[in-house]
Amino acid sequence: MSQSGLFDLTGKTAAIIGGGSGIGEAIAAGAAREGARVIVLDADHAAASGVAAQIGGDARGGALDIRDAAAVRAALDGIAGDFGRLDIVVCTPGVNVRKPILQYAEDEFDRVVAVNLKGSFNVLQAAGRVMTGQRGGSIVMFSSIRAQVVEPGQSVYAMTKAGIVQLVRTGAAEFGPYGVRVNALGPGIVETPLTSPIKANAEWYAAYANKSALKRWARAEEMVGPTLFLVSDAASYVTGTILFADGGWTAIDGRYTPPGM
């Protein structure tokens, strides 16, 4: 294996789910820079199409609600059919309702689980079917530091992010004999639309910045390198694991209780 081409994605077809904004948008652009043919999928069709247009070349955009198993399967099967292969699938979408356990409503529980856990399962299952059939590919699901450490108000979100890690491990075990790798990325606190309410509270924002070893938040672009490592030949013997890109958060003890908890 040529060391100079470890991160080269030339000739690869990559579906970036959640690519219409935030981390997914950054990853879609990064994969394209490394030579991949990128299909940007997002619940917001206009956003996905806009990112694909910015990338240019042969990038495409499309709508996808990962809660709909049939739609996920159709989308990934369609990509594989159009291009002959589906080499890379990255799944970034996630939602969070920050509430103490005793205040959580059933519909809020169902919404977080439907996107984060059921949606991730739908993607893993559909991508696994395609990739085991073609005997190769790489899947990266997005977990979080909350799979390992928690704070008040994070019960259901943390539960789903821990569940994603177990899905990844099982996917790696089942798909590995077919040459398919499955891994998770565990971001720390990243400046995205999902975390915008925290940025609006100066004390909360500063507390999170100071919790990491680097004393700052991550930018969405800083999740690109770790993700592309996992999908590239640089990680050809890496599967069934979670890579934390958290600025040292999970290495440091301490806690901040958010407002209202």
Q: What is the pLDDT of residue 257?
A: 66
**Topology (CATH) of 10-248:** Rossmann fold (3.40.50)
Q: What is the pLDDT of residue 198?
A: 86
| C-beta of residue 117 within 8 angstroms of C-beta of residue 146 | no
What predicted TM-score, i.e. pTM, was given to this entire model?
A: 0.93
CB atoms within 10 A of CB 256: 14
Among residues 104, 157, 205, 208, the one annotated as catalytic is 157
% helix, strand, coil for the chain, step of 5: 50, 15, 35
Q: What is the pLDDT of residue 226?
A: 98
Distance, in Å, from the CA atom of 190 to the CA atom of 227, rounded to the nearest integer, reads 14
Radius of gyration of the chain (CA): 18
SS3 label, residue 9: coil
Q: What is the pLDDT of residue 26?
A: 98
Q: Which residues of the chain have pLDDT under 70?
A: 1-4, 253-258
**Cα–Cα separations (whole angstroms), residue 231 to 40, 228, 235:** 16, 5, 7
Task: Reply yes or no on whether 157 is catalytic.
Answer: yes
Q: Which residues pair with 186 in a beta bridge?
A: 244
Q: What is the pLDDT of residue 254?
A: 58
